[in-house]
Amino acid sequence: MKKTALITGATSGIGRATAEEFAKHGINLVLCGRRQERLESIEKALSKQTDVHILNFDVRDRDKTLGAIASLPKEFQNIDILINNAGNAHGLDPIETGSLDDWDAMMDINVKGLLYVSKAVIPGMTERRSGHIINIGSSAGKEVYPKGNVYCGSKHAVLAITEGMRIDLNPYGIKVGAVNPGLVETEFSEVRFKGDAAADNIYKGYKALQAEDVAEVIYFAVSRPAHVNIADVLMFCTAQASSTIVKKN
């Protein structure tokens, strides 16, 4: 029987590439994001390969998040796979000058948004005693780099929450894992630097991970046999050795 996956942050980058990868393998899709036009164009493209339903909500809005997922039509209600991917960095500033709005955005989206979506999806999984949750963390969830403070904190929280979920959902046979990439060339830096020219230089002089590289690893994780759970993956591009060491030409 075909599985159904709900992917947050499916309008761009890693989420979009994961939707494309899953569609290739015939997984039904619930695609989430805030940019309606993009949701519609991705739906149109991927509907040729699989069944797609789109949901437009901001993961910061608790009621809208719970309401949107509760509104799913019957054929999309049983979520087998949850990819908690929506998130971004906002700003790159030392702690003494960082912006409260940026801090709110990162904690509200990367941490609380992930929890709201999980709260909406997990009851169906526990009831069916099956499911698979993959949280998209980051290398920033494993090490802290200069000016990374709150973003790194949010991703360390994602990792801790992932481990907590794995422990608590273990009795139900639900798999939980994290995929933690280093630098991936997406709209991430455009968002972090708010469209500033600094974003243009981030991926210059080396070959960063591409969203498709991460999507392939996510698909690998969800396509293992029933007894195998990929609990935690740290992946870098070859040029990157740590958050602060990147070999540029």
CB 209 within 8 A of CB 185: yes
Cβ-based nearer residue to ligand 8X3, 50 or 154:
154
Which residue's beta carbon is nearest to the bound ligand 8X3? 138
Q: Residue 175 Cβ, how far from ligand 8X3 at the closest point, in Å?
A: 23
* 206 catalytically annotated: no
Query: Could you say which residues in the range 97-156 bind ligand NDP, by CB under 6 A?
Result: 109, 136, 138
Minimum Å distance from CB 231 to ligand NDP? 17
Map residues 173-212 to x or -, x wherever contact with ligand NDP holds by CB under 6 A.
Answer: --------x-xx-xxx--x-------------------x-
91 binds, among ligand NDP, ligand 8X3, none (CB under 5 to 8 A by kind): none
Report how far residue 94's alpha carbon sits from residue 148's, in angstroms, rounded to the nearest whole number: 8
- Minimum distance between the CB of residue 217 and ligand 8X3, rounded to whole angstroms? 15
> Least distance to ligand NDP from the beta carbon of 6, Å?
12
Restricting to residues 13-52, which ones interact with ligand NDP according to CB under 6 A? 13-15, 33-35
What values do phi and psi take at 24, rounded to 5? -55, -35
Query: Is the CA virtual torsion 78, 33, 206, 106 positive or negative?
Result: negative
Active site residues: 151
